[in-house]
Chains A and B, each alone.
Chain A
């Protein structure tokens, strides 16, 4: 599946977005699906670790750390300004 939507990596810190899908090439695709990164799920980017990476994000009430690079292949629907 190829998504034309926004990449989660481009969502600014402190903002939320809705998952549309995860690219098939994503090395963590299976794990992320199991953790609830399924289409329709809300994800909030909370903060970046020192030196800018990884990022802390909340999905389904749980806080996770994921690298910026691994957010690139997660596609979301994001309306600018929606905190």
Chain B
């Protein structure tokens, strides 16, 4: 096979390999399709801009290894956002064997615009006519054969979410069809200008031959990012020539951008009519739901109410399991471990029972809580409500200088800040991207939830779920406040508005939601087993190293250890916030790694001592204890389901509920006001290292450091304020 030098050299390819680029508008099911074909588990969701980077999957068929590249959705191949730029770059620099163009059957005309643009490459192409079920619901009968005939390439109708028709694509991937010669015809003056540029492009051997026509048309159209890319890669002469041609066209009153769009749309319209000869409009479910969901008065209250319910659900249903895992399960494991480790030196027992089980175990106790949160988030993401939330909040967001679209990364931040930072790539405006990234860490991610839950259970009794909710509200308010401040400092935010697409509602499939939820939970568990366990071990080590002479390793009292000394030295900083104990301060230090470490460290400090010498248990004793504990947890979870819908009550009743041992320890160590201030600090201070890394990756290190700095400051100020206000009230 002939290899052609490109901007980035294409590696020579084996005859048994096929490279397929998956191209399409946002939210048409590209990722769903790849998941169905390759058995992968890449994230899907019902809004535009789920995939924001290039992803690969591999599938074998007829002796061929097929490499599928998932690309961010694009409305056109003249990029307006960083994610669209990724897609364009992939097309320009790869020499794929096949372009798989995924179309929304119910939105043919708009989808065909991209198809017609992609045809300019003259590469082998196949259409996956997806979402056939939805088109049928709208009352459309889409004729795949007619579509295929009109464009001259194979068209496979399918329903990617159920896998119907998906496999029919494989044979075209193994043996790509010949490229079609069908191409829209533009006005003569434009065509001849394009031909001149194409001819000129031949002199540049770094431009792949099949990209010449596309490059010519996009230069004439005034594609700014292409111009700068070509200029810096030594194609300045080509850009200059296109400028001359554009000027000549302008003098004859011909605007390439408008002409290209008009011709493509009239062609798209013609083809769409051939494929859908008639269509009887039906009132869709989406229209009926939106009458309420987007109601001018009820829309926002309904949104806030549903968020409130979600967070109360996570708290009420998750809490009994926290007690079970933190209590009976951990006691049993410690007992078994003690029995197993008896023959070994006592330092092993100390590490396992004094550090790993209370540390990692305390974090793992939150698996059920987080599973509920993640399932609720998946529902939000897959149903189509996400874009509606952005629509409803647009006005509010605008008052702080952003737009509704920026609200989507913010909601994603409730799950995890890291993907939320990457999700800002869908924003058109670079300044809005910067501001959104900088405020995102204030959004309370799921790693902070364990801290709230355990403190609320310890200190606020039945008002606990209200306190948890208040943390989410506070985080969001601080984020919005900062956006307002930043947008007055950073110029040019409101110059580029965005367009938001409101996708139809889709009933999330239970299996997709479950997979989503389980995947995220699994990565939380994996983190507990790796990052958290490592941090716990390091903390244990520093807790075991004596500072003054005369005390031995691992026998030193925690307060006199290296960890205790450092923490005590820092503690006075938090005196005005009411939590200036070395334990409280100490837990905040390793929590820079990840917020849930605060809980694991507190578990180690408060429980480590008492738990390091548990009574050994036999297998049977342990199992009985587990069974009883689990039953109690299930009963508790069932009972609290009703509580979710009850009005919040503020009379805290510190009932002597036999629960998580850490809860008991914390209720002695913190006053309610200090506990509240502690939660405020945990909510607002520097997010985990992974988030700082993501911010540095997207916006540079300087911004990442600035963000870390002002968050520490904000956290401290608001924690102090909280304590000073509530010390007299609680």
Contact = CB atoms under 8 A, between A and B. Distances in A.
A60 B261 contact: no
Interface in B262-321: 262, 265-266, 290, 294, 296-297, 299-300
From A52, A53, A62, residue with most partner B Cβ within 10 Å: A62
A48 B106 CA distance: 24
Contact of A63 (B261, B390, B501): B501
Given A61-B107, A62-B110, A35 B499 contact: yes
A38 B78 contact: no
B110 A64 contact: no
A51 interface: yes
Contacts of B266: 38, 40
B257 A30 contact: yes
Interface string B622-651: 000000000000000000000000000000
A39 B263 CA distance: 11
A50 B265 contact: no
Contacts of B428: 31
- CB-based closest 3 A-B pairs: A33-B261, A63-B502, A34-B76
A51 B294 CA distance: 12
Contacts of B258: 33
A48 B501 contact: no
A50 B297 contact: yes
Given A34-B261, A36-B110, 15 more contacts: A33-B258, A34-B76, A36-B109, A36-B265, A38-B266, A47-B290, A49-B391, A50-B296, A52-B395, A54-B500, A60-B110, A62-B107, A64-B500, A66-B499, A69-B497
Contact of A61 (B80, B106, B404, B500): B106
A27 B496 contact: yes
Contacts of B93: none
Interface string B81-119: 000000000000000000000000011011001000000
Contact of B391 (A27, A29, A54): A54
A57 B398 CA distance: 19
A47 B294 contact: yes
A77 interface: no
Contacts, number: 103
A34 B75 contact: yes
Given A49-B392, A56-B294, A31 B107 contact: no
Given A28-B497, A67-B497, A49 B109 contact: no
A41 interface: yes
Interface residues of B, number: 40
A63 B80 CA distance: 19
Interface in A1-53: 27-36, 38-41, 47-53
Interface of A: 27-36, 38-41, 47-54, 56, 60-67, 69-70
Interface in B418-465: 428
B495 interface: yes
Contacts of B113: 34, 36
Nearest to B500: A65
Contacts of A60: 107, 109-110
B56 interface: no
Contacts of A62: 107, 110, 501
A38 B262 contact: yes
Contacts of A32: 499
Given A54-B391, A61-B110, A27 B294 contact: no
Contacts of B261: 33-34, 38
A65 B497 contact: no
**Chain A binding site: helix, strand, loop or mixed by DSSP?**
mixed
B499 A56 contact: no
Contact of A30 (B80, B404, B504): B80
Nearest to B76: A34
A23 to B, nearest CB: 12
A34 B392 contact: no
9 contacts: A31-B428, A34-B76, A38-B261, A38-B266, A39-B262, A54-B391, A54-B395, A65-B501, A66-B497
Q: Which of B257, B392, B498 has the most CB of A within 10 A?
A: B498
A54 B257 contact: no
A80 to B, nearest CB: 23
Nearest to B300: A50
Contacts of B109: 36, 60-61
Interface in B577-624: none
A35 B264 CA distance: 11
A29 to B, nearest CB: 8
A34 B262 CA distance: 9
Contact of A56 (B78, B106, B502): B502
A75 B695 CA distance: 41
Interface centre among B80, B395, B404 (most CB of A within 10 A): B395
Nearest to B260: A33
Interface in B375-399: 387, 390-392, 394-395, 398
Highest count of chain B CB atoms <10 Å: which of A38, A40, A52, A70: A38
A31 B499 contact: yes
A41 B268 CA distance: 12
B395 A49 contact: yes
Contacts of B294: 47, 49, 56
A33 B80 CA distance: 13
Contacts of B80: 30-31
Contact of B299 (A35, A41, A50, A64): A50
Query: Which of B107, B258, B266 neighbours the largest number of chain A CB atoms within 10 Å of its CB?
Result: B258
Contacts of A35: 75, 110, 499
A32 B501 CA distance: 12
B107 A64 contact: no
A62 B265 CA distance: 15
Contact of A65 (B76, B78, B106, B394): B394
Nearest to B497: A70
A29 B258 CA distance: 9
B257 A33 contact: yes
Nearest to B117: A34
